[in-house]
């Protein structure tokens, strides 16, 4: 097994017909971009530790598949270095990188049985020996081919075929597809096909797995099951894994760490709960967590007061020094739906008018309007998401008051949208 190190990776594509470079990338990057190409990945630095399960997550089109294809060697890089263990693999062809990739649109060979699909990579790996052309290898292959259709006991198995056979059977058992080995892909369900595609990658026993949304075609139940199976398998095999998804539940439940990508740039790389509790910027705060974090524009008044048209709240003391420079200015307050608590009318509480009630059984979510927030001299009618206990009955149009759990409040700079962290704090979420 091996660690994977990505150093300053860049990738650009030539602009497609009719596409305007300036509109495709932020203006600061157009200057960097001397050859009129579209930068898809910029300054990617990432180390996936030996045996780690790293999840790469981000919205559609942010460059996740492109990054995996670069690591696998299926696409040339524009700049940067890729290390697998102590080997610099930049110039190595895919099959010499010792990496197995499960594709977003996994394709099985339709005319081959499950067995042959799984065995395919293993047999191909051995083909280098055969090119050396030894007569005995050719004769063996002929015998294997001629006896292939005979019942199992009568088939000729070369040493290579015997080891392929062992490997296919053990992987099939691991993935619980050992009863399906003789079937063709079209005779399988989506979930079974998915497991065959995984089996094909696992059978090769590579140093690194790259998985590109391997569960995207499965229904919710199968997805949850297969998710757990992949995590268990990865723990058993200890193979360094980079797993792409745009599903944040998958990211939170599967990864040792999560790397968040947006617009071709890494936003934050941290363990799941660290991302949830200490998002580095507004994008991460909004992306991780469902429903997403609410953002409320407020004015800060030193030493510890925040106000807007609807409420006035004195913050815990540990915010004092971090917020000092925003005295008299607007800042963005972030609060998650579960940290707004149904309360009583009070200055320090938020008055919200219920617009939508979504009862999920175990939880109820409200979309509720915060009236007349005044931000940079414009009134905004802002809708917030709130979680309430499922046994609480609420009516549409009802006005309710919510308190903010003080130690769960986040702040973001209104211009850079970077998180503002207090220097010290007595409790989570800010404790390291
Ligand atoms: N061969 C190519 N030529 C030009 N542009 C490309 C090429 N391949 C990908 N792109 C562009 O690069 C960007 C990133 O694509 P990529 O497939 O990596 O996104 P993704 O994060 O995997 O998205 P999704 O979640 O939808 O799979 C997209 O804007 C895409 O249109
Ligand atoms: Mg993709």
Spell out the residues 6+ positions from residue 239 whose beta carbon is closer than 8 angstroms to its own.
1, 51, 205, 206, 207, 208, 209
Closest by CA position to 24, among listed 16, 383, 131: 16
Residue 298, pLDDT above cutoff 50: yes
- Please tell me if the CB atom of residue 105 comes closer than 6 angstroms to any atom of ligand 1: no
CB-count exposure of residue 169 (10 Å: 0-12, 13-18, 19+) = middle
Mean pLDDT to the nearest integer, 27-31: 43
Distance 314 CA to ligand 1 centre (A): 46
Q: Which atom of ligand 1 is nearest to the CA of 264?
A: 14
Structure tokens at 76: 């040339």
Helix (H), strand (E), coil (C) string for the chain? CCCEEEEEEEEEECCCCCCCHHHHCCHHHHHHCCCCCEEEEEEEEEEECCCCEEEEECCCCCCHHHHHHHHHCCCCCCEEEEEECCEECCCCCHHHCCEEEECCCCCCCCCCCHHHHHHHHHHHHHHHHHHCCCHHHHHHHHHHHHHCCCCHHHCCCCHHHHHHHHHHHHHHHHCCCHHHCCCCHHHCCHHHHHHHHHHHHHHCCCCEEEEECCCCCCCHHHHHHHHHHHHHHHHHHCCEEEEEECCHHHHHHHCCEEEEEECCEEEEEECHHHHHHCCCEHHHHHHCCCCCCEEEEEEEECCCEEECCCCEEECCHHHHHHHHHHCCCEEEEEECHHHEEEECCCCCCEEEEEEEEEECCCCEEEEEEEEEEEECCEEEEEEEEEEECCCCCCCCCCEEEEEECHHHCEEECCCCCEEECCCCCCCCCCCC
- Please tell me if the CB atom of residue 11 comes closer than 6 angstroms to any atom of ligand 1: no
Distance 239 CA to ligand 2 centre (A): 22
**Closest-lying ligand to the alpha carbon of 261?**
1
- Please tell me if the CB atom of residue 39 comes closer than 6 angstroms to any atom of ligand 1: no
> For position 25, what pLDDT does the model report?
45
Alpha carbon nearest to ligand 1 atom 9, residue: 66
Cis peptide before 303 (omega within 30 of 0): yes
Model confidence at 29, in pLDDT bands (50, 70, 90)? very low
Condensed to tens digits (0 to 9), the pLDDT of residues 204-225 reads 889 999 999 988 777 788 788 8
- Please tell me if the CB atom of residue 262 comes closer than 6 angstroms to any atom of ligand 1: no
Structural domains present in the chain: 1-98+206-290 (3.40.50.300), 292-420 (2.40.50.140)
CA distance 429 to 274: 8
Q: Which atom of ligand 1 is nearest to the CA of 14?
A: 4
How do strand 4-13 and strand 38-48 relate by DSSP bridges? Answer: antiparallel
Model confidence at 131, in pLDDT bands (50, 70, 90)? very low
Condensed to tens digits (0 to 9), the pLDDT of residues 337-384 reads 999 999 999 999 999 999 999 988 888 999 998 865 555 555 556 889
Alpha carbon nearest to ligand 1 atom 25, residue: 60
Any idea which residue has 């913050």 for tokens?
A: 315
Distance 203 CA to ligand 2 centre (A): 24
Model confidence at 19, in pLDDT bands (50, 70, 90)? low
- Please tell me if the CB atom of residue 44 comes closer than 6 angstroms to any atom of ligand 1: no
pTM here is 0.84
Q: Which atom of ligand 1 is nearest to the CA of 24?
A: 29
Spell out the residues 6+ positions from residue 5 whose beta carbon is closer than 8 angstroms to its own.
46, 47, 48, 81, 82, 83
Condensed to tens digits (0 to 9), the pLDDT of residues 220-252 reads 887 888 888 889 889 988 999 999 998 888 999
CB-count exposure of residue 142 (10 Å: 0-12, 13-18, 19+) = exposed
Alpha carbon nearest to ligand 1 atom 31, residue: 61
> For position 59, what pLDDT does the model report?
92
- β-bridge mates for residue 244, sequence order: 56, 212
CA distance 409 to 294: 10
Condensed to tens digits (0 to 9), the pLDDT of residues 302-317 reads 999 999 887 899 999 9
Q: Which atom of ligand 1 is nearest to the CA of 244?
A: 22
Condensed to tens digits (0 to 9), the pLDDT of residues 33-70 reads 445 678 899 999 999 999 999 999 999 999 999 999 99
**Closest-lying ligand to the alpha carbon of 63?**
1
Asked if residue 41 lies in contact with residue 63, where contact means CB atoms within 8 angstroms, the answer is: yes
> For position 23, what pLDDT does the model report?
46
Distance 55 CA to ligand 1 centre (A): 18
- Please tell me if the CB atom of residue 65 comes closer than 6 angstroms to any atom of ligand 1: yes
Residue 198, pLDDT above cutoff 90: no
- Please tell me if the CB atom of residue 63 comes closer than 6 angstroms to any atom of ligand 1: yes
CA distance 131 to 142: 15
């Amino acid at each position: 097994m091996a660690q994977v190190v990505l150093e300053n990776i860049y990738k650009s594509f030539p602009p497609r017909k009719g596409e305007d470079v300036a509109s495709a990338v932020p203006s600061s990057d157009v200057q960097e971009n001397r050859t009129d190409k579209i930068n898809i990945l910029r300054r990617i630095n990432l180390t996936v530790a030996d045996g780690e399960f790293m999840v790469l997550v981000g919205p559609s089109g942010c460059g996740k598949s492109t990054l995996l294809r670069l690591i696998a060697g299926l696409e040339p890089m524009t700049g940067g270095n890729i290390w697998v263990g102590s080997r610099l693999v930049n110039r190595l062809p895919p099959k010499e990188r010792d990496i197995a990739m499960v594709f977003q649109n996994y394709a099985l060979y339709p005319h081959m049985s499950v067995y042959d699909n799984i065995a395919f990579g293993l047999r191909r790996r051995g083909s280098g020996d055969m090119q050396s052309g030894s007569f005995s290898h050719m004769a063996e292959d002929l015998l294997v081919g001629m006896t292939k259709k005979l019942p199992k006991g009568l088939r000729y198995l070369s040493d290579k075929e015997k080891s392929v056979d062992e490997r296919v059977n053990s992987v099939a058992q691991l993935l619980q597809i050992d009863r399906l080995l003789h079937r063709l892909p079209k005779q399988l369900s989506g979930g079974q096909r998915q497991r065959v595609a995984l089996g094909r990658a696992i059978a090769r026993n590579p140093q690194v797995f790259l998985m590109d949304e391997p569960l995207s075609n499965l229904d919710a139940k199968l997805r949850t099951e297969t998710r757990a199976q992949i995590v268990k398998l990865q723990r058993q095999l200890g193979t360094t894994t980079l797993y792409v998804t745009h599903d944040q539940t998958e990211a939170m439940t599967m990864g040792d760490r999560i790397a968040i990508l947006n617009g071709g740039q890494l936003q934050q790389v941290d363990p799941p709960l660290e991302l949830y509790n200490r998002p580095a910027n507004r994008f991460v705060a909004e992306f991780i967590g469902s429903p997403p974090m609410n953002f409320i524009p407020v004015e800060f008044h030193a030493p510890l007061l925040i106000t807007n048209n609807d409420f006035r709240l004195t913050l815990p003391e540990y915010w004092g020094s971090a917020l000092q420079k925003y005295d008299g200015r607007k800042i963005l307050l972030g609060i998650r739906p579960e940290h707004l608590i149904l309360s009583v009318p009070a200055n320090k509480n938020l008055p919200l008018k219920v617009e939508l009630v979504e009862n999920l059984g175990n939880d109820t979510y409200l979309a509720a309007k915060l009236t007349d927030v005044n931000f940079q001299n414009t009134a905004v009618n802002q809708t917030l998401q709130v979680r309430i206990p499922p046994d609480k009955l609420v009516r549409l149009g009802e006005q309710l008051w919510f308190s903010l759990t003080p130690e769960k409040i986040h702040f973001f700079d209104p211009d850079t949208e970077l998180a503002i962290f207090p220097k010290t704090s007595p409790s989570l979420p800010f404790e390291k």
